[in-house]
Amino acid sequence: MSTSVKTSATEKSFATIIDDFKQITKLGLSLSVVFSAIAGYLIAADTIQISVLISLAIGGYCMVGASNVFNQVIEKDTDKLMKRTRNRPLPAGRMSVNTAMTLGIILAVAGIVILYNINPKTALFGAVSIFLYASVYTPLKPVTPLAVFVGAIPGAIPFMLGWVAATGKFGIEAGILFVIQFFWQFPHFWAIGWLQFDEYKKAGFDMLPTGTKDKKATSQILLYTVWMILVSILPVFGLTGELKLSIVGAIFVFAFGLLMLLAGIKLHKNQTDVLARKLMLTSVLYITVVQVIFVVDKFI
């Protein structure tokens, strides 16, 4: 074998390893978690410390990456049944369970240690997030649609994790950030559950609140969206401690909330996958923009 062929094979192998790492840690999801945590930090911090921001970003990625690795180890057999997951490293056979578990443990330990160096409470919430996602949410998925409620807890931790990282305290401010992202997850993941309904059925997962695509499910989507909007604008009334929001900021938050509610209403009326996808995309826009609004609102 020529040197050029060997180099090409090595490069291909390395590229595959990197791609598998991205897939098993769910790069996109992990980066969104890091974004939320950084937003929470910027909202809370009196003085921005770059070293803390970097630690929060790396520790946050390790935290959610570990959760996703453990999730995929547990679901390796059901992942084979679904089109969107069958090419993941474990079901495709490109990575062994032992390798994945080793990676998950390394990420979990590294994440907790890094977050502990910020402050102990940040590490504690990071550890709780990993435990709930891997040990409670994932095993519950094939058992009950209530798994979504459990999964919403670790999913809501990142936004408030940034506040805790900046202050070392969990109070009403961190609680509100938690609740905003907690309520947001229901319309977001139920929209995904709607889109992936048939695929989830193959794996034995009932991810919609009623177990089927109907108006009762979309009514739940609307209910949680309304609660999300109300909690998101609560800081404008001065009842949430150091977490503030100006009237202008609240108007923008409310407006984007109405966009998401409108997407939910359209799905409720017409019950199509196209509208469920629009709701899912609108929900991603909402949580991203709202976090940016809170940050910008603080500094202007």
pLDDT digits (tens, 9 = 90+) for 22-80: 999 999 989 999 999 999 999 999 899 999 999 999 999 999 999 999 999 999 999 89
Higher pLDDT, 147 or 183: 183
The pLDDT-based confidence of 230 (bands split at 50, 70, 90) is very high
Q: Provide the b/e sequence for 173-210 (b: ≥16 CB within 10 Å).
A: bbbbbbbbbbbbbbbbbbbbbbbbbeebeebebbbbbe
User: Is the domain of 191 the same as that of 128?
Assistant: no
Q: Is residue 8 part of a domain?
A: no
| Contact present, 243 and 232 (Cβ < 8 Å) | no
Among 209, 161, 214, 159, CA closest to 187? 209
Say what the pLDDT of residue 110 is: 96
User: In the prediction, which pLDDT does 180 show?
Assistant: 96
Q: Is 61 found in the same domain as 177? A: no
Same domain assignment for residues 252 and 266: yes
Task: Please check whether residue 7 lies inside any domain of the structure.
Answer: no
Q: Is the pLDDT of residue 9 over 80?
A: no
Mean pLDDT score, 224-248: 95
Assess whether 104 and 233 both reside in one domain: no
Instruction: Give yes or no: residues 124 and 234 share one domain.
Output: no
Q: Is residue 95 part of a domain?
A: yes
Q: Phi-psi bin for 38: left (phi > 0), alpha (psi -120 to 50), beta?
A: alpha
Q: 76-128 pLDDT, tens per residue? A: 999 898 888 889 999 998 999 999 999 999 999 999 999 999 999 999 999 99
Residue range of the domain that includes 31: 19-168
- Helices 172-195, 273-299: inter-axial angle, 10-degree rounding: 160
What distances in angstroms separate CA 48 from CA 39, 53, 165, 214, 299, one per listed residue? 12, 8, 11, 47, 12
- Return the closest-CA partner of residue 263 out of 187, 180, 185, 193: 187
**Percent of the chain clearing pLDDT 90 (strictly above):** 80
Residue 69 shares a structural domain with residue 127: yes
pLDDT at 211: 84
As for how many domains the chain has, the answer is: 2
- In contact, 191 and 276? CB cutoff 8 Å: yes
Together in a domain, 127 and 181: no
116 and 180 both lie in a single domain: no
- What average pLDDT score do residues 177-182 get? 96
Amino acid in position 27? L
